[in-house]
Amino acid sequence: MRKPRVSRRMVVAEIIRLMNLALNPGTPVKFADRYVYLARRFSMKYKVPIPRKYRIFICKGCKRVLKPGATAVFRVRTRPKKHLYVKCLRCGHVYRRIYE
Ligand SMILES: [Zn+2]
């Protein structure tokens, strides 16, 4: 087994860079999926979690990018509790994140 010679901080920086590229509105979905795939691979390989801020943009069903307006619907709903409603338009996966 090859020992990774990279620091945790570098991996986090790389994940953030990839996620920012993926979420850039000018990035085609096809490439964005690839960036998300790479970010997830980095995350798993080095056991570094993807920051929360970016995790909401990855579909929990199909693991592809959730781009507001392109591949996903993001809505803020207030009933029964204030939450963010996210629906993936490709696999139909829905999830909600409750605001604290
Ligand atoms: Zn999906």
Q: What pLDDT score was predicted for residue 79?
A: 87
| Confidence grade of residue 69 (pLDDT, cut at 50, 70, 90) | confident
Distance 94 CA to ligand 1 centre (A): 8
Distance 66 CA to ligand 1 centre (A): 8
Distance 68 CA to ligand 1 centre (A): 13
The packing angle between helices 29-45 and 8-23, to 10°, is 160
| Confidence grade of residue 47 (pLDDT, cut at 50, 70, 90) | very high
Task: Assess contact for 96 and 86: CB atoms under 8 A.
Answer: yes
List C-alpha distances in Å: 13 to 17, 42, 73, 91, 99: 6, 11, 27, 29, 27
Q: What pLDDT score was predicted for residue 4?
A: 58
Residue pLDDT, tens place only, 77-92: 998 899 999 999 999 9
Q: Is the full-model pTM beyond 0.75?
A: yes
Distance 70 CA to ligand 1 centre (A): 12
Distance 88 CA to ligand 1 centre (A): 5
Boundaries of every domain in the chain: 8-98
